[in-house]
């Protein structure tokens, strides 16, 4: 297996990890405790190695549906927001329990697009995150679904958690963004629909041709699908950043990524 030996990949000081709903919730709607537990173990281990770790976690709606024993996402935005409000509290409860096993303190941060538009809000967020990291705490970030509806109604292209994770990476100047989903990486077509689809190992530039290969989510709990991940990756490439998209079924894959193993899809510009 080819080794990828960029320092930003194998020895980043600051890492943002984004987990999608598909990593946290089984397709049957139940909570994937094995995955959440392994995530807590891996992130704590990275923290113990001296790295600074930020988690951007979806799952409020998925966990809320489970908690309220609903088997599908409600139609109306206020109902979705109510479910997210229930789920976010429960999600943090689960994270806190699992991280406590490894004696790792976490903190909840809920953000809205204010952080892009208002410099003072942005500075407050940066200051809080910097302080948490200096204290050795892992921030767990989600969008504030009660306030921000952009990602829930699917009508605007602004504001899903893939995008949020790139914004967080930029604000914190993280060297590496690892995006965990339910698929091994970015393929030439949705592999769940086209068995001939080939995994892209390295993407240096995102053009319209690649954008066309990225389809929607197949999962009732996921929102953005591959096109939102690709738009996020484009943003990362635009600021000369590095991103790896990999399968979160086994969060220990993060260790493999940091060893330079060729797993998932690496998004990294040619000359960087």
Ligand X SMILES: N[C@@H](CCC(=O)OP(=O)(O)O)C(=O)O
Of ligand ADP, ligand X, none, which one sits near residue 142, judging by CB under 5 to 8 A according to partner kind? ligand X
Known binding site: residues? 18, 58, 145, 161, 181-182, 223-229
In whole angstroms, what is the distance from residue 84 CA to residue 65 CA? Answer: 8
Burial of 215 (0-12, 13-18, 19+ CB in 10 A): middle
Minimum distance of ligand ADP from residue 84's CB (angstroms): 15
How far is the CA of 262 from the CAs of 81, 82, 111, 204, 266, in angstroms? Answer: 39, 41, 33, 15, 8
N-to-C CA span, the chain: 22
Of ligand X, ligand ADP, none, which one sits near residue 192, judging by CB under 5 to 8 A according to partner kind? ligand ADP
In whole angstroms, what is the distance from residue 7 CA to residue 5 CA? Answer: 6
Of ligand ADP, ligand X, none, which one sits near residue 244, judging by CB under 5 to 8 A according to partner kind? none
Known binding site for substrate: residues? 58, 145, 161
For residues 189 to 218, the per-residue mask of contacts with ligand ADP, x marking binding by CB under 6 A and - elsewhere, is xxxx--------------------xxx-xx
How far is the CA of 226 from the CAs of 175, 217, 231, in angstroms? Answer: 22, 7, 9
Residues 222-241 that bind ligand ADP (CB under 6 A): 222-226
Residues 16-75 that bind ligand ADP (CB under 6 A): 20-22
Report the residue from 81, 106, 181, 242 that binds ligand ADP according to the rule CB under 6 A.
181
In whole angstroms, what is the distance from residue 202 CA to residue 268 CA? Answer: 7
Minimum distance of ligand ADP from residue 24's CB (angstroms): 8
Nearest to 217 by CA among 176, 140, 160, 166: 160
Burial of 271 (0-12, 13-18, 19+ CB in 10 A): exposed
The count of other CB atoms within 10 Å of the CB of residue 155 is 9
Minimum distance of ligand ADP from residue 7's CB (angstroms): 27
Minimum distance of ligand ADP from residue 22's CB (angstroms): 4
Of ligand ADP, ligand X, none, which one sits near residue 175, judging by CB under 5 to 8 A according to partner kind? none
Binding site for ligand ADP (CB under 6 A): 20-22, 181-183, 186-187, 189-192, 213-215, 217-219, 222-226
């Amino acid at each position: 297996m080819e080794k990828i030996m960029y320092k930003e990949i194998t020895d980043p000081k600051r890492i943002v990890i984004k987990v999608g709903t598909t990593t946290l919730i089984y397709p049957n709607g139940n909570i994937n405790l094995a995955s959440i537990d392994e995530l807590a173990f891996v992130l704590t281990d990275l923290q113990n190695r001296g790295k600074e770790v930020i988690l951007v976690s979806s799952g409020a709606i998925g966990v809320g549906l489970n908690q309220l024993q609903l088997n599908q996402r409600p139609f109306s935005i206020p109902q979705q927001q109510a479910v997210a409000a229930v789920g976010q509290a429960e999600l943090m409860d689960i994270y806190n329990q699992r991280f406590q096993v490894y004696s790792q303190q976490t903190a909840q941060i809920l953000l809205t697009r204010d952080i892009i538009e208002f410099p003072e809000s942005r500075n407050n967020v940066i200051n809080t995150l910097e302080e948490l990291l200096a204290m050795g705490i892992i921030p767990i970030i989600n969008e504030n679904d009660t306030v921000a509806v952009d990602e829930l109604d699917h009508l605007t292209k602004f504001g899903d958690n893939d995008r949020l994770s790139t914004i967080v990476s930029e604000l914190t100047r993280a060297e590496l963004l690892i995006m965990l989903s339910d698929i091994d990486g970015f393929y030439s077509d949705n592999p769940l629909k086209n068995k001939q689809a080939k995994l892209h190992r390295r993407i240096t530039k995102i053009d319209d041709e690649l954008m066309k290969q990225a389809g929607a989510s197949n999962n009732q709990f996921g929102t953005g699908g591959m096109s939102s991940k690709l738009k996020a990756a484009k943003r990362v490439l635009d600021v000369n950043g590095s991103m790896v998209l990999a399968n979160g079924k086994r969060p220990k894959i993060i260790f493999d990524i940091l060893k330079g193993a060729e797993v998932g899809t690496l998004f990294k510009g040619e000359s960087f």
